[in-house]
Amino acid sequence: MTGQPRLRPAPARLAALRPLPAGGPARAVYLALALLVVLGWVLFALRGEQFLTMENIVGIQQRSAALGIVAIGQTMVILAGSLDLSVAYLISLTSLVAAETMAGGDGMVVPAIAAVLAVSATVGLVNGLVVTGLRVHAFIATLGVGLIVAGLLDARYDGPAGSVPASFQHLGYDRIGPLPVSALLWAAVAAAAWFLLRRTRLGHRIYAVGGDAEVARLSGVRTGRVVVAAHVICSVCAGIGGLLLASRLGAGAPTVGTDGGYDLESIAAVVLGGTALAGGRGGVAGTVGGVLLLAVLDSVFNQLEIDSFAKDVVRGVVLVAALAIYARGRRTP
C-alpha cells in the first residue's frame, strides 16, 4: 500500500492448507456423489446385478424433482438467513388448489397454475412479513403459518380431492429422450435460481443479508425487502412442487406434502450441499448435489431392500458426517 516494503499477504499461503477441495462444500458433495455411484456400482456388480440402469436413473430424477424444486426455494431463504418450515403444508395446499381448479378440464390448466402461483406467493409474503415486520424467528413464524394452512386443510378435506386432466399428467410422467419432463422443470428452476443468485442485485443482497444483516443494513440494503422476496421465491418453488405432485397423483391431497417430509428433507438437502444454515454462504449447485445424493442413497437402499429403519439411520449419519467435514474445512482462517 505504500512505497515502503510490504510483505506478501499470508492468506494465499494458508489457503493451501485447507482440507477441502478448492470448490468447498459444493465440490465435496459431488465428490461424495461420484464416490457413492462407484461404490454402488461395484457392490452390485459383485452381486451380479446392475446398478443405475436407465430405468433407475429416470426413477431417481423423477423422485428428486419435487424435492429438488422445493430445496431450491429453501436454499434462497436459508442463504438470506431465514428458514421455511411451511413448505410441506403449502405443497399439500397447492396440490389441492391445482386439482380442484382444473377439475379434470383441459381448459382450466392455465388458470390453475396461475392460482397456485398466486396462493403460494401470498403465503410467502405472509411468511416474510411475519419474519421481518413482526420480528418472529423464522422457525416459529413459518411453523405457525404452516400450522394455520394445515388447520384449514384439515377442516375442509379428509382425503384426495379434485382431479387433473390427462394433458397435465404429462408433466409428471413424460420424458423427452432419457430426460423426464419433471427433471427438466427442476433443472430450469435451478438454473433460474443460480442466475438470480449470481447475476442479480437481489441475489447479491440475499447473500449479504444472510451473511450479516447489520452490515447489509449499514451498507444501505433494505434488509426486510430482501428477506420477504426470498420467502416469496421459496413459497413459489413449493407451489411448483405442489403442481408437480398433483400431476403425478392425478389429484390433490391434504397430506401429500407432510407425508413426503418436504420441510425437513429440503433443509437437509440444502445443508448437505454445503449451504450454511446460518446463511450467507453456499448456493444452488450444492443443493442440487445434496438432493441427488439423497436420491441415489435411496435407490441403493431400495435395491438392497434395506428396511426403512436402517435407511434413516444411514441418512442421519451421512448428514452429520457431511456437516462435520464442512466444519473442519472452515476452521482454518
Site residues (vs another protein, CB under 8 A): 1-2, 4-15, 17, 199-205, 207-208, 211-212, 214-222, 280-281, 333
Q: Which is nearer to another protein, 7 or 54 (CB)?
A: 7
- CA separation (Å) from 14 to 121, 150, 272, 323, 330? 45, 50, 25, 22, 12
User: Least distance in Å: CB of 12 to another protein?
Assistant: 7
DSSP state of 178: T
Give the relative orientation of helices 308-331 and 25-46 as an angle to the nearest 10 degrees.
140
User: Least distance in Å: CB of 241 to another protein?
Assistant: 25
Q: Which is nearer to another protein, 79 or 115 (CB)?
A: 79
User: Least distance in Å: CB of 70 to another protein?
Assistant: 25
User: Least distance in Å: CB of 202 to another protein?
Assistant: 6
Residue 267 contacts residue 83 (beta carbons within 8 Å)? yes
Residue 102 contacts residue 109 (beta carbons within 8 Å)? yes
User: Least distance in Å: CB of 116 to another protein?
Assistant: 25
Q: Which is nearer to another protein, 105 or 211 (CB)?
A: 211
Q: Which is nearer to another protein, 80 or 185 (CB)?
A: 80
Q: 71 phi and psi, to 5 degrees?
A: -65, -30
Q: Which is nearer to another protein, 210 or 241 (CB)?
A: 210
Q: Which is nearer to another protein, 9 or 177 (CB)?
A: 9
Question: CA–CA separation, 189 vs 74, rounded Å?
Answer: 12
Q: 63 phi and psi, to 5 degrees?
A: -70, -30
Residue 145 contacts residue 86 (beta carbons within 8 Å)? yes
The residue among 253, 236, 250 whose CA lies nearest residue 114 is 236
| Residues 6+ positions from 120 with CB-CB distance below 8 Å | 90, 94, 235, 236, 238, 239, 240, 242
User: Least distance in Å: CB of 227 to another protein?
Assistant: 15
User: Least distance in Å: CB of 203 to another protein?
Assistant: 8
| C-alpha cell, 139 | 422457525
Q: How far does Cα 98 stand from its chain's mean position?
A: 21
Q: Which is nearer to another protein, 15 or 310 (CB)?
A: 15
